[in-house]
Structure 1
Amino acid sequence: MGTALSADSSLAVTAVDAVGEEEMKNRRYWQMLENLEEADIEGTGINRTHHSSIWLIYNRVPRCGGLTMVFLMKELAKVNRFAHQRHQYRTPWNRYTKNLRPTYINIVRDPAEREYSAFRGRRSQDPLQITQEIKRRDAAGAGTGMEWYTKSFDDCILDEDPECAFNSSEYTFSRAIPYFCGQDPRCLVPRSRWALQRAKFIIEHEYSVVGILDKMNETLQVLERYIPRFFAGSSKIYYSRGYGRRHENRYIKSKPSLSEKVLAKLRDSLSDEYELYDFCQQRLYHQYQETINTH
């Protein structure tokens, strides 16, 4: 004897199928999280934004255009009617705001360029801060302050100066990986496969957009499409009268091109950071393609 389905029962079957699919997604999520080091994590164009969220968290990676983004968001706050508050590692806010899950964003840049920017930044702060730092170093040894100040980035890398020992086994707060990996102490260990994989996993599953500093056009278009509540009109503001250039750090001098020898050494010592950077580029590419294909 055949079974007849009413309209209501058909809807019920559809609902059960949807629940089953969601359960399978959750199962795959936790299986991957439990086997991070062996997991094959790929960046996709999926929009992870929780459209009901009223929270936007930008736990900015240092030296990745953060000042420009902060100024941009302050301008957007006036237009899109939200409040802006002020570096932290990712905090699992979904534990504390269960029904109001936040939207995460970030910006990354080429790791070698980021480290160069940090190196110059330590020597291009407010003149008073520079003078105080030179005096502090001179107190430990005459002349060491100016020696530090005039040191070139190339020499720092090629001479394996401790300041530029990026392959150090010590915990570090200067990398991009911990900002995505989170609060676990293992997230601070350089060259940790687990930390790298967890950072990728969190980016793909928890971050709406991780932009690329050298690809602001694509980044802004994805932000506008994926998170319109906060970023509607961002391209117009950013490009009006050279907005991005006007809000660059005024103490940073123009940078020279890094030599191939220095770049090769940096790519080796920052190999895990480059893998994460390439992952973010792949993901942004897929997201940008989504904005084009659904325009």
Structure 2
Amino acid sequence: MSGSGSHIRLRVTCVFLSLALLAYVGLTQWVLGHALLREHAGGGAGVLPLVGGPHPDDPPSHVNDRMLFFNRVPKSGSEMLVLLLQWLQGENAFRHIRLRNSVRRFLSRDEQLDLAAEMGEKIFESAQSRLSFDRHLYFTNFSTLGLKMPVYLNLIRDPVEKAASRFYYARVTPRPGAVTPSGYHLPPPPRHATLEECVAAHDPECTFVSGRLYDLSIPYFCGHEDYCRELNNMAALNTAKTHVERWYPVVGVLEDLNATLAVLQDRLDMYYNQLLAPHHNRNRHRPSVSQDIDLALRKNLTTEYEFYDYIRQRLTLQYRDLKGRGG
């Protein structure tokens, strides 16, 4: 009997422990949800508040205009705009938050939920009602997570110049501060000292082949699906353009930096409403790209250049509109 009684007590203990674990998980989820939904006093940002239900095509009226998300395209001059956000946050009464960086720019759905939770924690802790975030990250449709969309911002540059910048950057900077996820394998050490040598050797580091997956500019506007990283995929190009028109009031161009700064002041004045001096951003230590190398790389970057030309034309029209209004 004593053995049977001990067995019963053990089973009852296991049941209580299971119920306690379930209660803990439920409480954790409730606290996280409460943090995500909490709004600050005075109509604060909250965390991308919940809309009526998940919907991938929320109209612009469902954008949370008290939340700016700068999902930075690498090697396109983005650090300059981040520095401006950091300098102007006190003057313009908002807080800028740098999210945890990672070598991975594309996320699974669970990782996207983790991103929303990280933002929720930062907002819950913030006393400011307006916030801006930045991270190297592919376009994330928060409305599919049941959340309001932020105002998106980005900056791009000439695709060949971007490739050259990344090539030489990889030879001097080992991804400072970037988190390496488990299972991620770092690329082998570079084998070529110059871009010319790399192209001549047809090395995969500087060879672009249609249909293969690359971390170029379009995925930062298209999304986390594999086709978004597929080079010269027309669906990825069209998706990226659609997202720009719907969610990005401004996408700047490094080669047109003065126009970019002027349009930022006009269309994102809550963040960039101070007069910004003309700026020139170039790594004078990086070798320039020869005409032959430019042509060799350009011919396989068809959709990247279509996207770049589209963004540049859009910025030009925005700048002309501003000047036409006396800005």
What is the TM-score with the length of structure 2 in the denominator?
0.61
Question: Displacement of 1:223 after TM fit?
Answer: 0.6
Q: Which residue of 1 aligns with 2:213?
A: 171
2:155 aligns with 107
Aligned mates of 2:262, 2:287 — CA distance in 1: 29
1:62 partner amino acid: P
Shift of 1:64: 0.6
Give the Cα–Cα distance (whole angstroms) in 1 for the partners of residues 266 and 272 of structure 2.
Answer: 8
Deviation at residue 50 of structure 1 after TM alignment: 8.0
The answer to which structure, 1 or 2, has the higher relative contact order (CA under 8 A, 6+ apart) is 1
Check if 1:289 corresponds to 2:301.
Answer: no
Distance 1:65 1:226 in 2: 20
Tell me how far apart the structure 1 counterparts of residues 63 and 324 of structure 2 sit (CA, whole Å).
Answer: 21
Partner of 1:157: 199
2:138–2:224 CA contact under 8 A, matched in 1: yes
Q: Is the 8 A contact 1:94 1:102 kept in 2?
A: no
Q: Which residue of 1 aligns with 2:15?
A: none
SS of aligned partner of 1:166 = coil
Indicate the structure with greater strand content: 2
Pair 213,127 (structure 1): closer, same or farther in 2 beyond 3 Å: closer
Match in the other structure for 2:7: none
Q: Secondary structure at the match of 1:200?
A: helix
Alignment match, 2:142: 93
Distance 2:325 2:305 in 1: 30
2:104 aligned with 1:83, yes or no?
A: no
**Equivalent in the alignment of 2:164:** 116
CA displacement at 1:82 relative to structure 2: 0.8
CA deviation map 1:181-239 (0-9, x unaligned)? 01222112111111011111211222110000121110010010011111101514xx5
TM-score, length-normalised on structure 1? 0.68
The 3-state SS of whatever aligns with 2:270 is helix
Amino acid at match of 2:199: I
More helix by share: 1
User: Equivalences for 1:96-245 in 2 at 5 Å?
Assistant: 96-98=146-148, 101-125=149-173, 148=191, 151-167=193-209, 169-172=211-214, 174-233=215-274, 235-236=276-277, 239=278
Compute the displacement of 1:104 (Å): 0.9
Counting only pairs closer than 5 Å after superposition, residues 10-21 of structure 1 correspond to structure 2 as: none
What is the aligned partner in structure 2 of residue 254 from structure 1?
Answer: 285
Question: Which one of the candidate residues 61, 65, 70 is aligned to 1:53?
Answer: 65
The RMSD of aligned alpha carbons is 2.9
* Deviation, structure 1 residue 176: 0.3
Q: In the TM superposition, what is the alpha-carbon distance from 1:49 to its structure 2 partner? A: 9.3
Count of paired positions: 221
Residue by residue over 1:76-114, the C-alpha shift from the partner in whole angstroms, topping out at 9 and shown as x without a partner, is: 11211111112111111345443xx42111000000000
Task: Tell me how far apart the structure 2 counterparts of residues 49 and 234 of structure 1 sit (CA, whole Å).
Answer: 28
Percentage of identical aligned residues: 33
Unpaired stretches in structure 1, ≥5 consecutive residues: 1-29, 34-47, 130-139
| Contact persistence 2:64–2:151 (CA under 8 A) | no
Q: Is the 8 A contact 1:49 1:227 kept in 2?
A: no
How far the C-alpha of 1:158 sits from its partner, in A, is 2.6
- The answer to whether the 8 Å contact 1:105/1:207 transfers is yes
Q: 1:68 aligns with which of 80, 85, 89?
A: 80
SS at 1:229's partner residue?
Answer: coil
